[in-house]
Structure 1
Amino acid sequence: MKIAIKQSLLSLFFFAAIVGCAPKADKKLPYIGEPDIEEKIVDGKTITDTIYHRIPSFSFLNQDSVLLTEKAFDNKVYIANFFFTHCPSICPTMQRNLLKVYEKYKGDDRVSFLSHSIDFKFDSPSVLKAYAQKLGVTNEQWQFVTGSKKDIYGLADQYLVYTREDASVPGGYDHQGYLVLVDKDKHIRGAYDGTNEEQVAQLFTDLEILLQEK
């Protein structure tokens, strides 16, 4: 898989996130992504605020041909990833591992799941519906969405996930298998290789930490 600059940066952020993996009540996960520093003057004093990277607004069709926006994830912790249904390489393992997380939190309205298809040509809502059913998803807690190339790939950049069309790779699409952990305020708090058992185990740990944050 080709290496992008942001892939290396995200790997560094991930390394920082997994240091000290034992869950603690007072432990906080890091914020992933380059923050903006904002200065303002209050009562004659300069106040510095750190503005952490957030997932922006979006609008996609889901597996039921219903328009899904970021508002569906308001006040929820969610895990996002990018895949395509006929992927012959990393997607089957990534999705099976994400299914383990889904099965543990199934019925827990604090947690949602969001899979974006990067195959805007083939993965129609009906295809995504059949895929979700075959995978074992039985409720609306896990959403599968499709959209234009510009919108899906642009949002992947916001998640710091590398995606591109590439006829030279199996399936015609090159992408990373990160499972991205997003908090209630839509800040990225962790990214985990969905094909790696140890990193998926870390996701379980970090998800619990995030759910305990106040």
Structure 2
Amino acid sequence: MRRCVITLALGFLSAFFCSLTAAADSQLPYYNSAEFTPHWLDSKSEELKGFHRIPSFSFTDQEGRTVTERTLHNKIYVASFFFTTCPGICPTIRSKLSRVQNEFLGDNEVRILSHSIQPTTDTTEILKDYAERNDIRSDNWHLVTGDKSDIYSIAKNAYFASADLGVKEAENDFLHTENLLLIDHNRNIRGIYNGLNNTSVSHLIADIQILKDERADSRD
């Protein structure tokens, strides 16, 4: 049975994901563009060799640790964008991501990667204080800061963040999105979810388990 969820928020299409569910098997699509058109590929397909992947990156988290793509090697992770002084959607998204954190506490295969979109003010010290005030566990949830151009470039060109706004933005335009992206152990985008919506986040949690099962099957 094909399951598709489309969430409307603030007058525009804010999140879309579609997964294929069968009685004995589940599969998630792959995405490679800002349109988030699903590509239904086998995890061993030759097409994946040249498919879109999150590129190399280097940021600093709330503990002062360097976080790169190697830190997340063979991990499943959820990518998001925020800033510590955000009074609007960020606290709601944070509470939803806390659900994800608590669901996979102690699971070495799952991580959350939240990028500050105000890196010049969100220093390591501020991120650490923010993490402590909001019960964010640094062992599986990285709040990262770094060069603004690097964060905005990877957000727009790799994660396709803010594409749902329907407005072309300049490179340094303020970036704000409620979307959460699910990245698999090969750094492929496998889902996009509305971080303001409980049902959408419940599907995210379920889809993380699908990727865990997919990873386990690939080891057999």
- Normalising to structure 2: TM-score of the pair? 0.76
Please say which structure displays the higher CA radius of gyration: 1
Distance 1:154 1:124 in 2: 19
Task: State the partner residue of 1:97.
Answer: 96
Task: State the partner residue of 1:181.
Answer: 182
After superposition, residues 137-148 of structure 1 pair within 5 angstroms as 137-148=136-147
Instruction: List alignment gaps of at least 5 residues for structure 2.
Output: 1-8, 37-45, 164-172
Task: State the partner residue of 1:160.
Answer: 160
Task: State the partner residue of 1:77.
Answer: 76
Contact 2:76–2:111 (Cα < 8 Å) also in 1: yes
**1:33-73 Cα shifts (integer Å, max 9, x gaps):** 249xxxxxxxxxxxx84522100000011112222111010
Deviation at 1:27, TM superposition (A): 1.3
Greater helix proportion: 1
Distance 1:125 1:98 in 2: 20
Contact 1:25–1:212 (Cα < 8 Å) also in 2: no
Task: State the partner residue of 2:168.
Answer: none
Could you list the structure 1 runs, at least 4 aligned residues long, displaced by more than 3 angstroms after superposition: 22-25
Contact 1:23–1:209 (Cα < 8 Å) also in 2: no
Identity across the alignment (%): 39
Distance 1:77 1:182 in 2: 6
**1:121-151 Cα shifts (integer Å, max 9, x gaps):** 2100000001111111234211111011100
After superposition, residues 1-214 of structure 1 pair within 5 angstroms as 11=15, 14-15=16-17, 17-18=18-19, 25-34=24-33, 49-50=47-48, 51-157=50-156, 158-162=158-162, 173-213=174-214, 214=218
Moved more, 25-34 or 126-135: 25-34
Deviation at 1:105, TM superposition (A): 0.3
The amino acid that maps onto 2:180 is L
Distance 2:109 2:65 in 1: 22
Distance 2:23 2:143 in 1: 32
Deviation at 1:108, TM superposition (A): 0.5
The amino acid that maps onto 1:81 is S
- The 1:128/1:25 distance shift into structure 2, 3 A limit, reads farther
- SS across alignment from 1:101: helix
- SS across alignment from 1:159: coil
**1:158-199 Cα shifts (integer Å, max 9, x gaps):** 111129xxxxxxxx9441111110000000000101001111
Task: State the partner residue of 1:169.
Answer: none
Contact 1:60–1:67 (Cα < 8 Å) also in 2: yes
Superposition RMSD on alpha carbons, in Å?
2.7
Distance 2:104 2:145 in 1: 24
The amino acid that maps onto 1:69 is T
Deviation at 1:23, TM superposition (A): 7.1
- The 1:95/1:25 distance shift into structure 2, 3 A limit, reads farther
Distance 2:90 2:197 in 1: 12
Distance 2:109 2:47 in 1: 28
Count of residues in correspondence between the two structures: 186
Distance 2:74 2:197 in 1: 29
The amino acid that maps onto 1:181 is L
